[in-house]
Amino acid sequence: MTVQRKPTRFLALALPFAALVVTVAMAVGHAQDRGGAAPAGPAGQGRGGRGQGPATPPAPREVPARTIPIPDTVSPEMQALIGRGIGANWNVAPKTDEEWAAAAGRGGGAPGGIGPGNQATLDQLGVKSEPTTVNGVAAYMLTPNVIAPENQNRLLLHVHGGCYVMGGGGTGEGINMAGLGHIKVLSVDYRRPPAAFYPAALDDVVNAWKGAIKTNDPKKMGMIGLSAGGALVLEAVLRLKAEGVPLPAAIAPGTPMADLTGKGDSMETNKLVDNVLVGYGRCDAMGEFYAHGHDLKDPYLSPINGDFHGFPPAILTTGTRDLLLSSTVRVHRKLRQAGVDAILQVFEGQSHAQYNNSTPEGKDAYEEIAKFFDKHLGK
C-alpha cells in the first residue's frame, strides 16, 4: 500500500537541524536547572505567560510519500485483510432517496432480514438466529449450540454498526460474540435512515434494553456494539443513566464512532492507511444524515461529549491502522478519568473493525471480551 503525503524538502538537512534543536534544548534545560530562565522567543512566540504574547500553535508536520508494508507480525489471515485495496466509494455519499435506500440495504432503513453473509457465519459458528420483538423493537435472538455453564443465565444486548445507515439485520458481531463467547445474544435491528432518523436508533436500543430487563436480571446482562453500534452503546448508557434505569453490568463498545465532528489524531495519521473507513467521508456523511440537522456535538450523537461518571466497566477494541483509533483512545481515557474500570485492547495492523471475524486475531479479541464479561456479569 502506498500512502501519498506532501514531500519534505531539504530532507538532508533534517538530522543536523534536529541535532541542533536538541543541543539548544539541552542547553536551555541546563540553564533552567541552574536557576536561570529560558530565553524569551520573538514577540508573539512566548509561552503565553504574563508579559508575553500568546503561544504560536505548532506547525503541522509534513510527511514524505512512503510505502507501508503488510506487517509480518500478524496471522496470514489478517495479512490478507490488511492487504485488501481501498473501496472506490469511500468518499462518495449517497444523494438521492433511492441511493440512500440502497445504501441502507435490506429493509431500506426499516428492520431487515438476515443476509447471506450472516447466514454463513451462523452456520460456521453453530449459532441459531430467531427473529423476535422486544418492547416493540425488532431483534434477533442468537443462541449458540453450546452455551458455557457460567453463561446459562446471562444475556448480551448487541447493537450493530453501519455508520447509522447500513446493516439491516446486521447481526455479524453478535453472531461472533455468541459463537466464540458461548453466550446468548439479543441483536437489536434498530430503525435507520432513510426510514427513520435521530433519535430512532437510540430510542430502539434503549427500549429494547428496557424490554429485556423485564425478564432478565440486568446484573447478569451486558451490552456490545461495533462502530456506530459502539457509539449507540455509549449513548444508550447515557440515556439509561439519565432516566434512572438499571445499567448493564459491563459494556464492550468496539472502535466506537464517538465523535461525529471528525476530531482525533488518527483521522489524519491513519487516513488512506485504514482500508475500511479510509478517511473522513462516506461514513461520516451517513452519520450526519442520521443526525438530520441536530447538533453533531450532542452527547446522544457524539457520546465523547457526555458524562461517563457512573458508567459500568468497559472493554474497548481497536487496531493500529483504525481511522477511529483516536476515538477509541479518547473514550477510554475519558472513562478512566471518570473512575470507570476500562480496558483498551489494540490489535496490530488492523483497520476499522477488522477484528470482527474468526481470524486468530478475531478469536483472540472475542475471547478477551468474553473473559471481561465473565468477570463483571453476575451468574
225, 77, 213: which is closest to 135 by C-alpha?
213
Burial class from Cβ neighbours inside 10 Å (0-12, 13-18, 19+) for residue 163 reads buried
Answer whether residue 27 shows pLDDT above 50. Answer: no
Answer whether residue 36 shows pLDDT above 70. Answer: no
pLDDT tens-digit series, residues 216-239: 999 999 999 999 999 999 999 999
Report yes or no: 256 and 327 within 8 Å, Cβ to Cβ: yes
Structure-block grid coordinates of residue 42: 520573538
Q: Which domains does the chain have, with CATH numbers?
A: 2-67 (no CATH), 97-376 (3.40.50.1820)
pLDDT score of 41: 41
Answer whether residue 46 shows pLDDT above 90. Answer: no
Rounded-to-integer distance, Cα 226 and Cα 242, Å: 23
Location of C-alpha cell 530562565: 37
What's the distance, Cα to Cα, between the start and end of the chain in Å? 47
pLDDT score of 108: 75
Which DSSP category does 123 fall into? Answer: H
pLDDT score of 44: 40
pLDDT score of 53: 64
Instruction: Specify the range with the lowest mean pLDDT, choosing from 40-54, 66-80, 119-133, 315-329.
Output: 40-54
Residue 210 pLDDT grade (very low, low, confident, very high; cuts 50, 70, 90):
very high
pLDDT score of 211: 98
Residue 179 pLDDT grade (very low, low, confident, very high; cuts 50, 70, 90):
very high
Q: Is the dihedral of CA 291, 295, 301, 302 positive or negative?
A: positive
Q: How far is CA 273 from CA 93, 114, 375, in A?
A: 20, 31, 35
Instruction: Specify the range with the lowest mean pLDDT, choosing from 3-17, 78-92, 171-185, 265-279.
Output: 3-17
Residues 6+ apart with CB under 8 A from 9: none
Answer whether residue 39 shows pLDDT above 80. Answer: no
183, 228, 296, 246: which is closest to 237 by C-alpha?
246
pLDDT score of 205: 98
Answer whether residue 15 shows pLDDT above 80. Answer: no
Crossing angle for the helix pair 228-243 and 200-212, to the nearest 10 degrees: 60
Rounded-to-integer distance, Cα 303 and Cα 230, Å: 10
Output 5 or 278, whichever has higher pLDDT: 278
Rounded-to-integer distance, Cα 33 and Cα 172, Å: 58
Answer whether residue 338 shows pLDDT above 80. Answer: yes
Q: If you average pLDDT over each of 26-40, 60-74, 156-170, 246-260, which comes out highest?
A: 246-260
pLDDT tens-digit series, residues 70-109: 999 999 999 999 999 998 899 999 999 899 999 988 777 7
Report yes or no: 221 and 235 within 8 Å, Cβ to Cβ: no
Answer whether residue 51 shows pLDDT above 80. Answer: no
Instruction: Specify the range with the lowest mean pLDDT, choosing from 95-109, 147-161, 289-303, 322-336.
Output: 95-109
